[in-house]
Structures are given as C-alpha cells and as structure tokens.
Copies of this chain bind each other. A is one copy, B any other.
C-alpha cells in the first residue's frame, strides 16, 4: 500500500473555501493489474459489447416501461424494486435506504483482491411527460427508430436489431438517456465481464437517487443517516450528455450556483403616468441603472473582485484547448453574432463565475398593461460559481457594488420611514446556494479514468475541466469528501427533459465499452 495524496477542492455552504488535503489508501501496487484478471483487448471488448446490444436494449425497454416521475411515490418504488432485482441477480447486496423522502437504493458488491471501492451514482427517476407532445403513443413504451431517406425518423420493428444494428438508430422513451440508459450500460458491462469469468478490479457501490429531477431532496438526509454505507475511494457520476463531438468524455467538476433578487421602488402604489409622469420616480429606470452598471459591453462583470483568484496553469490551458469546440457552430446554434468575451473561448468562459439575469419584471407588458408608473421593478439573478468563488462572498460583492451606485441596500422591504429617507433603495435577497466542485486534472481518479478511456478508444477522451451547469449531487459529493468525476455516456441531442427523449444505439455501445474499460482498468 502506498499513500497517494490529491487536492480536492471543497467549498462549504457556509462559504469560506478550504482546500482539504486527503490521504487515501490506494491499492495500485498491491492489487492493481491483478494477475487473476485477464486483459480484454479493445477489439475483444467490441465483440463482446456487440453481443450484448440486444440484451441491453431489451433490459432498457423493460426498465423504461416503469413510469418514473417522482411525484408518484408508488411508481418510484416499482423502479426501486426493479433495480433491486437487477443488481441482486448480479450478486449485489441491495439495501433500501429509508428516509423522510423517497428511499435511495444502495447496491454493493466486493470482489476478491479488490481493495479500492468505487461509488457509482445514477438516478432512476425521470422528468414528467406530456404524452401528447411525443411522437409515440406512450413515452414509457420504448420505440426503435431510424432515419428514412427523407431524413425523418421512422419506427423500426424490434426484429431489425437481430440482423444488423445501425449505430445511428435510436431508442425513444422517457429516461432512455436520463438516466436509465447508463444504469443498463453498467449492468451489461458487468454481465460481459461475468461471461468472460472476470471480475472488476475494485469493489462497487451503486447509489440510485429516486428524485434527481426534483433536485434530490432526500440526498443530504440519507447521507447523514447512512454516511458509512457510502464510504468509498472515488465516486463516478454517470449522468448527463457527452461532449457535442460525441467522443468519450470526462467531466472533472461542475459550477455551483448562488443567486439574488433585487427590487427597486417607485411610488408606494402604481400611479397614473399622466398625473405623475416627470414627478414620481420610475423603479424601472432605477433597476436599469443598477443592472447596466454590472457588466461592460463585452459581457465582462464590472463588480469589483468578481473574478479574483482565477488563473490557469499550462496544463489547464492545454486541457481546455484540446476540447473540440467550434465557436462558429455554437454561435450559429444560439443564433448570435457575438458571444460574451469573458473567456477567450467557450471552455474558458466556464472557468469564471457568471452573472445572469434569470428574469425581470415591472408591472405588465402587453395585454393587461396600464399607463402607470409601477410601484416596483424586480430582477432575479443567478451567479454560477467556480471553486475559487464562494457563493456568499459573491453575493456580498454585488451588494457592495450596488451601494457604490448610490443605493441604500436593504435586506428587507423598505418601510415608510426608509422610503421617505432614501431616494434610491434596493431590497436585495441573496442566497449562497450550492458551491462548485472541481477535481484536479492531475489526481489519481482523473489520471486513472483518462488512461482507462484512452487505452480502449482511438483517441484521448475529451476532458472538461469544469462543466457550466450545477448538479444536485454536489452537496452529496462534498459531504462524502470523495474525489469525484462525471462520466457522461449519452448523446448530447438526446432531448433530455423534453419530449422524444432518446438514446443513440452507438452511444449504448460506446457506453458499455466505457464501463468495461473502467471496470477492467487498474487503479
């Protein structure tokens, strides 16, 4: 055994950031590359995965058939039972972890000579469906489709899979990609290993979140109650789409999210814009003044110290540069002439905290609107956080900035006395939100996964230093204090969260191979 140390940036909700230096036992020398496990060549993997395509589709079809909107607890329980069976018959010990919310399922299996334990995170619930918006009758009855000569998808008979599988065919149904597809990929990869009489090179824990699409309300509570059960050396999150190039992708972290709402004031009640136009101040002009002061024309935030502490070493720069993004494509997709200039490219822009107006409102625009001077104007913002920027600190910086614009910033709605005292008032409600996490590029988990994928695919994986969004699993990751990497497996155009969610069969194939690569790579 030897010590491997790594830096894992962790930022607590309370705000102050700390670099925790953890020392974990690794087993690379003792058990890594266990002699008892035969090597599977990439080619052999392809052959084995090909044999499992039909069983994988069938198992996915079976699982998708269970409705899984977490507003219906009975449905979720059926999904939990299905997973208990699926993991149980693969020799996993399963435990239903009860808590005041929907129960989590934990499946565990140890393997001889394995000393490390990897925790895999998936979720078994799906987004709600509105069946009439789908091109199939029942979003829970999976459909196979391929593009016809006209380029439009048309239904295929399931028998088509027996002859020759086209990787561009897709299976359509709720949760085919988000997130039941990846669960099946891991299960089938385990079956493949079993069929070759091989074992994974580490012990496995799988946690299935029953309500990720609702923000994972039970995750933190379950963690508190069952923390020991989750203990593991590394965590792999198999959720979300791959890079748009559809190349194997590793995502080393995700941004956090803080937020605030600001309200400016005019007269105490809406006033006739004729009788008081040029006399009663309009809250919209005040809100505009505050907002306009926050960013320059290039989209760079003007709040002092907003970008403090962010820098990139050569390795970070090269990792970002290696991501095959195409600015022209992105801008054409967004239909914008120019992007904001916070970073010099798309990946770099995600390394900085962002300041975004989620919504803005004053009185009524269009039908139902009156010729009035409104009583207030409101804007809601989110701040995407990076590990260098603590949520509470960012909210405080914004507050200071607004004060510098000449406003009295209150943490409560102004009363009559304050309205009569201060000409310009902002009522600000802030929340420090969810912090970011980012696992360093040069740490054992990152290096291990990069090697695992590089070895079995043609190219190095796309490595995303940090993804722009925030995932509900972050507080869980933090509380466990476990090095974590996201390994997304599904096609980016999978329509997740929308009607006609789908999984490309080529991604099902690649996903099984990715799981196999991970399971068989020495840590």
Contact = CB atoms under 8 A, between A and B. Distances in A.
Interface of A: 254-255, 257, 261, 266-268, 271-282, 284-285, 287-295, 297, 299, 330-332, 334-340, 342-343, 346, 349-350, 352, 354-366, 369-374, 377-380, 382, 384, 406, 416, 419-423, 467-470
A285 B297 CA distance: 9
A349 B278 CA distance: 6
A416 B378 CA distance: 30
A497 B241 CA distance: 56
B274 A255 contact: yes
A360 B361 contact: yes
B361 A361 contact: yes
Contacts of A254: 274
Given A282-B357, A287-B288, 10 more contacts: A273-B382, A274-B467, A277-B356, A278-B340, A278-B342, A292-B293, A358-B363, A358-B372, A358-B374, A361-B365
A289 to B, nearest CB: 5
Contacts of A364: 358-359, 361
Contact of A373 (B273, B291, B356, B420): B356
Given A278-B340, A377-B360, A334 B268 contact: yes
A507 B357 CA distance: 51
Q: Which of A358, A384, A406 has the most CB of B within 10 A?
A: A358
Contacts of A382: 273, 277, 371
A473 to B, nearest CB: 14
Nearest to A383: B277
A354 to B, nearest CB: 3
B278 A354 contact: yes
A358 B336 contact: no
A244 to B, nearest CB: 11
A446 B406 CA distance: 46
Contacts of A357: 282, 284-285, 362, 374, 377
Nearest to A255: B274
A52 B100 CA distance: 76
A330 B276 CA distance: 10
A273 B370 CA distance: 32
Oligomer copy total:
2
A271 B384 CA distance: 14
B285 A295 contact: yes
Contacts of A421: 337
Contacts of A406: 297
Nearest to A290: B288
A363 B358 CA distance: 7
Contacts of A274: 254-255, 257, 384, 467-470
Q: Which of A294, A299, A370 has the most CB of B within 10 A?
A: A299
A369 B374 contact: no
Contact of A339 (B279, B340, B349, B350): B279
Contacts of A332: 420
B275 A335 contact: no
Contacts of A470: 274
A337 to B, nearest CB: 5
A19 to B, nearest CB: 24
A469 B272 contact: yes
A365 B357 CA distance: 10
B279 A340 contact: yes
Chain A to chain B: the 10 pairs with minimum beta-carbon distance, closest first: A274-B469, A277-B354, A284-B357, A288-B291, A292-B292, A268-B335, A278-B349, A267-B334, A359-B363, A360-B362
A417 to B, nearest CB: 10
B468 A343 contact: no
A519 to B, nearest CB: 30
Nearest to A338: B423
A51 to B, nearest CB: 36
A346 B279 contact: yes
Contacts of A379: 284, 365
Contact of A288 (B275, B288, B355, B371): B288
Contact of A336 (B281, B334, B352): B281
